Amino acid sequence: ASDLHAAMIARPVILLGFLAGASAFLSGPSPVAFRNGRSMALSQKLQMVTIPKVPYDGAAVTGPSGPTLPGDGDLDFLEAKPYWDQSDVKVNVAKQKNPHIGKIVSVQRMVGPSAPGETCNIIIDHAGKLPYWEGQSYGVLPPGIDPKRNKPYGVRLYSIASTRYGDDKTGKTTTLCVRRATYWCPELKADDPAKKGVCSNYLCDAKPGDEVKLTGPSGKVMLMPEDDVTNTYIMVATGTGIAPFRSFLRRLFGEASPAGKNFKGLAWLFLGVANKDALLYDEEFQVYLRQNPDKMRLDYALSREGPLNKAGGKMYIQDKVEEYSDEVFDALDKGAHIYFCGLKGMMPGIQDMLKGVCAKKGLNFEEYLEGIKKNGQWHVEVY
């Protein structure tokens, strides 16, 4: 991974650029392409600590959330000893029969007006009684009776989008990234309320102070191994699948945690959404990228805005990853960890792409995949 990191420094970091110029770099609506910061003017470099204005109306993540940079003191009161030891990671502290009662802190829309659907940043106070690690999930029990079963609704799982310290760094809150699930009825020419997602609408409609039943935390497959400070983490997300990776990047670059202070590797995020208004946590990621151009890469696939893929079709997440397939495979050969999170429909396209790349490289895909799984490098959480 250290060899890869050195090689990456010499290569251009390619981002999807929409604007150019100094004023746009600091406050414009979109990422700007640059080569590890070397093409920026000195005046721009001096202002890199400036948190850019949020680019889209209604997209601001304010209050306890939003871009953050490491503070003066260490943030380590929830660390294991040593901090990378995952042997005592807790699961299922709260269960469906005896859930923990949390309270809503805030619910904020975080996408622009042209985004398909509504996605909210939801902060919940768990009072420090439901501790979790980055990469874990919470379960939410929505109120009401499931008419199909005539029983209370079951648990819905949501990947956690904050670090263990929460966005307010108190260790008592968690953040969920939730898209409101709706069904457009062509006959009504409107959303059909009878078919809306029960739990997502419950959460997106919640008000500060509302109680919410929580279970978990659950899962260990998406944990971020931190024993090697030169690790490369390749993160592939669609939509709200960004949640665990937002927690990873915040831990590595937005807090004065020991993991972040010691990190010398590479965090490479691929995110697929419909358009730039649908980008999630972009204003935060841009801050981290500008502060850590040698440790972070960021690539977006905007299926409805382009650019087009190599075949002239829409750019989906697998197409964007394929553009860098040589580097991705090289990283995996050197021990990189690759993560996938989002709708389960993303994986067939991803796997077909990987099969094609393996064929070109003369590799047997099934054997190759089995090898990286055996090495613990393959992490998948889809829904």
d(CA 210, CA 190): 28
Which tokens in the block code for residue 223? 């944990």
8 A C-beta contact, residue 158 and residue 142? no
From the candidates 134, 255, 322, 381, give the one annotated as an active-site residue.
Answer: 381
Asked about 341 being catalytic, the answer comes back as yes
C-alpha R_g of the chain: 21
| Residue type for position 215 | T
Which residues are CB-neighbours of 338 under 8 A, at least 6 positions away? Answer: 234, 235, 236, 328, 332, 372, 377, 378, 379
> Of 140, 106, 137, 109, which Cα lies nearest the Cα of 123?
106
From the candidates 114, 183, 211, 383, give the one annotated as an active-site residue.
Answer: 383
From the candidates 137, 159, 162, 303, give the one annotated as an active-site residue.
Answer: 159
SS3 28: coil
From the candidates 120, 199, 341, 358, give the one annotated as an active-site residue.
Answer: 341
Asked about 316 being catalytic, the answer comes back as no
Asked about 367 being catalytic, the answer comes back as no
d(CA 338, CA 1): 13
Asked about 134 being catalytic, the answer comes back as no
d(CA 30, CA 240): 19
Asked about 132 being catalytic, the answer comes back as no
How far from 168 is each of 18, 66, 121, 156, 283, CA to CA, in Å?
A: 31, 10, 14, 25, 17
d(CA 244, CA 242): 6
d(CA 136, CA 187): 40
d(CA 163, CA 171): 9
Where in the sequence numbering do the catalytic residues fall?
158-159, 341, 381, 383
